Structure 1
């Protein structure tokens, strides 16, 4: 196979192999994620400087710990109460979450936010999500009453309008049974394909809701959410800010995974969205902040 063709087909192969692997018989035991360090501290009380807890929402095939090993301590060190949840679990599949139906995952987020508000005494939370974790909360905000409980939603490479996987989802009809396999075994993946019924319903009548401030931070090197601008929101009025990571720092080569795991440029811009009154311009030098 030509090398370039192999690179193009790899994301589609991962999609199909994931669904196929999960179709195989498995046990039902769920392995718990390792305990986090410095966050998910249920005795944390928000300060006057940072009055809203931050809820971190992992991406597809992620979990509440691994997705946030860098960013969660970054926020805790700056005085935030930080919490992360697991969602979209499938029976017998430990650690790799975000595979269940997205609307059901939004229900899990709703319950988790209620728990955070009850423990912290705060009136609202802010949400930062990576990939599906930046898109899924939109369902919570729009259909599950989340708009009254959330001040801001920050998406790191979110797939708000789905993904084509570099156009490879168009090849699914040429693999007999592939689309049905993905839909039945990993519905969370199927929901994220551009043009899916879930996304059509989610974005009908507008892709934002009043009262919530939205920030989308995308990377032009995204190989998972394609085209990368499909993560951008339209919104109404001035409630949306769409940012390309390389417009902040051309030297940041982060792709889909790294924008959440290691990009301090993206983290700095997310921090600005959480505390806009004290925002500082994000540049390549922000990596040292």
Structure 2
């Protein structure tokens, strides 16, 4: 079957995982190669089998070039120790939602490592989802969507992956099953510290507010630190510089200067936060 046909089958078998982002009603049917809700709002699959559920806008700072560099870096195993830490805790089978999935490399690795079940990856960037569908179509169902106007059904997911991406805890709690969990990854103070010092001198980063907020929502959260060093080549250093948001505040001249003298190693240091029992909003 073509990709669009395979995606239509996925939707028919998993329609409850979605809801209409316009009226928040459940989708009633898969008509042709699209989904339709009770109020006749319709969303069609693209030729590559992706579903566009975004009401407006659709791009962020991650363009195709940056996403391609992120994929190239991910292919080297740069993020694997972080994902391995998640694998130590996440159920090996379940319904997974990857929030801000980018070009799909994280879900791809987790799938290769045996994480099974229905998986959905979504991002606000159309470029990201097109890359994910092009390279990792078989690993998940890919869609363009906005967390703030969520198109996902209530109490449908066993796990939410929230890796280097924004959070919306009220929405997370709505779509999680009663015993579901959030797996959030945020940078620690010394994440890519060598690159930060090259770009900005001694400018520091503090994740305390993010961690504190997570623990307010999930008081029984697990907090685990993941730290390691990565040896860099000229190519991997260039991909890192091209994909990291750290460079968004730097001038083109500054970026060009540091690329000419690449770092040999880089520190990766993150917090893995895993929710305990869900705190219900009132």
Whether these two folds match at TM > 0.5 is no
Q: TM-score, normalised by structure 2?
A: 0.37
| Structure with more helix by fraction | 1
The TM-score with structure 1 as length reference comes to 0.36
Name the larger-Rg structure.
2
Higher strand share: 2
